[in-house]
Amino acid sequence: MSFLILIIEDEIPQAEMLRYNLESDGFRTILATTGEEAIGRIGVEVPDLIIVDWMLPERSGIDVCRQLRAKPETQGLPIIMLTARGEEGDRVLGLEAGADDYVIKPYSPREMVARVKALLRRASPNSANQLFEYAGIVLNKETHKVTRDGGVVSLGPTSFKILEALLEHPGRVYSRERLLSRVWGGEIFVEPRTVDVHIRRLRRALNTDGRKEVIRTVRGAGYALDEHQE
Ligand code: CA
């Protein structure tokens, strides 16, 4: 069965071009021109991945992203944010809103298809049945669920992968570059700073209700799990 991609884009020629390229590569696609329409479509069938344009009439792509992340049935959905805006601040805002990746217009359809595939690879559950535990955090690779002290921790696919890497060797320092190659594979277009944004998100998700910080920032070196930090 082929993956279903939901494209939320109000510029029809752009959306059609994207649709053509994705379908040529074997994907199924649905098109929505507004956030409202997209949310309605998701209610009928949950796609495997969403490509959402930032600039949409009425509700923005950022809002759509936040809304999807707030719902249990869509919180783990891989999301690519599409935008004409390339400012660093915008990129961070897009990622903070819950997007897993960020593509600046104009983009090459081939690059977009490559990113879709990479994100789907990252998001698909590993077949190995393994539990990782550290400091009250339990990560189940098979079900893709994370809990801390028994409470559910909601993570997007990228944050999940980062936590998975850190949990494999608690205490070991992972450099940004190492996390990049581990989580993003050989994608050269991801900046090391993207790792920081996802670490921030991961921390926020793990530290709800005043729970203790477990991710240590090692200045100039990277990140490590450490429950005994001052
Ligand atoms: Ca638009």
Confidence (pTM): 0.59
pLDDT digits (tens, 9 = 90+) for 65-96: 999 888 877 888 899 999 887 777 777 888 88
- Ligand 1 centroid–CA 46 distance in Å is 22
1 vs 62, residue with greater confidence: 62
Rounded to 10 degrees, the C-alpha dihedral 111/7/157/95 comes to 80
- Ligand 1 centroid–CA 58 distance in Å is 11
Residues in the chain: 230
Least confident of 82-86, 105-109, 133-137, 155-159: 82-86
Cis peptide before 106 (omega within 30 of 0): yes
- Ligand 1 centroid–CA 211 distance in Å is 40
Which residues, other chains included, contact 41 with Cβ-Cβ below 8 Å and sequence gap of 6+? 6, 30, 32
- Ligand 1 centroid–CA 202 distance in Å is 29
- Ligand 1 centroid–CA 12 distance in Å is 9
As a whole number of angstroms, the distance between CA 50 and CA 170 comes to 33
Neighbours of ion ligand 1 (CB under 5 A): 10, 53, 55
Give the strands of the sheet with 4-8, arranged side by side: 28-32, 4-8, 49-53, 79-83, 101-104
pLDDT digits (tens, 9 = 90+) for 155-179: 988 999 999 999 988 888 888 888 8
* CA-atom Rg of the chain in angstroms: 18
Q: Which domains does the chain have, with CATH numbers?
A: 4-123 (3.40.50.2300), 131-225 (1.10.10.10)
